[in-house]
Amino acid sequence: MTDDTIGSSRVPGALRERTGCQSTDGVLMTLTKAMRVLGATTVAGALLFTAAPVASADQVRDGQWANSYFDLKKVWSVSKGDGVIVAVIDSGVDASHPDLEGSVLPGYDQSGQGLNTKPTDFHGTNMASLIAGHGHGDGEGVVGLAPGAKILPIYKKSADGSSETANGIRWAVDHNAKVVNISLGGSKAPKSDPELTKAVAYAAQHDVLIVASSGNSGLGTVDSPANEPGVLAVGATDKNDASWSKSDYGPEVLISAPGVQIVSAGGPPGSPYYIADGTSGSTAYVAAAAALVRAKFPKLTAGQVANRLIKSASVPAGLKGGKVPDPHYGYGILSPYDALTKDIPAGPAQGPLAAVAGTGSTSSPTAGGDSAGGAAPGDTLPTLPSASRDDASGTSAGVMIGVVGAGIAVLVIVIIVVVVARNRRRPAPMPVQPQQQPPYGTAPNWPSAQQQFGGQAPAPGYPPQYGNQAPPPGYPPQNPYQNPYGPDGGQSQR
């Protein structure tokens, strides 16, 4: 399973590129080469960082447009996620970063290299800061959506470089995590990895919510593990509520969240912050919102927490009047304050999550009583399209339900569906031409789609790296960078 995390491009002295890039030049080229080697054309979250000097950590905070989008002051008046442990299965988390110091638990490195809290790749730090960052000093640095939560960092690979996502999930469950953030992914089909499927079931049996990225290829195929039944899959949107053009989509996507031009903490020495596009950041925000809800409503099951998140999601203008769940947006865009305050019945224990192998309504965690209004739990979501496949026939369960007839007619239809499903299992990537049509779900005058990412050379029209050019739209005015951490960025040399 390819489960490598996302790319990025740097902001000199402040916001900078990831994926083990050591120099300040040619970062995107280095990332592209790495992605080609890994074959990670569907990695969950392309952090496309662009150079734009930042004058101070205050400007970093100002650059976090999602903070005002979520209205953190209102959200935090209800919950900050206090006492909730969020596991981050990723590249490790820099526990010494000033915006995370004191919020990172020891965690676990399955490779034995100690990368859980001293990573060489800071993508995990980026995600942790969006979840539980608390900033530093007088309103400086990055703050996350749930600053009261604790981060449990789990390194994603073994010593030989193979994926340890399944073992990471089990370890998180056994060490008291209530939410697991997985901002990474690969192209495996659902239930094709028995150990991963069992790990997801293990989390469901122990009332732990797994949140994962849909992917960054712009294709109608959701990445693994987000496509596993029982996982809350997340898509990305921009500040105009348009679905990000590279966000993977499909019936598994249940919710979306801001994922374009997202500022986060973490970087090599001298560059402690990043700005990025991708479903990874969106996933971190949803995981953080889950922590807020779990702190406010501790009796709700993982499925009921997911239920509150999707039933309180805001429906973008381009989707109003349409059918939900939408393959791009799911039930809408994350709205943390509404998730904490709306009158939403608890509903069944499983909530909107697809049934997990080895579990069922009788073996799911007991439904809690933390409904905001105490309404009858029978008010449940509409039946969702099945995210799994019928193991016996290889056909979609949703298709089988829709088949009416008997005898030869049924047999013929089943054969046709099997052939079509097999032929479409790996849809060929379709090149995105952002100049010909607006992003999904937007009016014709919305800004053009984001640049393509996935280990290839920049497409025609790809913007040059920012240096002396103007910063991205909506980003605060830039001044010569004044490093708030000193010459080495406040981080140890690696």
Q: Is 136 labeled as catalytic in the residue annotation?
A: no
Residues in the chain: 494
Catalytic hit among 3, 4, 90, 370? 90
Q: How far is CA 430 from CA 109, 220, 284, in A?
A: 37, 10, 27
DSSP state of 457: P
> SS in 3 state form for 93-107?
CCCCCCCCCCCECCC
Q: Is 213 labeled as catalytic in the residue annotation?
A: no
DSSP state of 363: T
Place of tokens 């399973």: 1
**Cα separation of 67 and 235, whole Å?**
18
**Cα separation of 222 and 184, whole Å?**
12
**Cα separation of 192 and 199, whole Å?**
13
Q: Is 123 labeled as catalytic in the residue annotation?
A: yes
**Cα separation of 453 and 457, whole Å?**
8
Catalytic hit among 94, 109, 123, 136? 123
Alpha helices in 90-230 (DSSP H): 123-132, 165-174, 194-205
Catalytic hit among 187, 256, 280, 312? 280
Query: Closest Cα partner for 308 from 355, 342, 282?
Result: 342
A 10 A CB-CB count for 419 gives 11
Helices 165-174 and 194-205: crossing angle in degrees, nearest 10, is: 20
Give the active site residues: 90, 123, 280
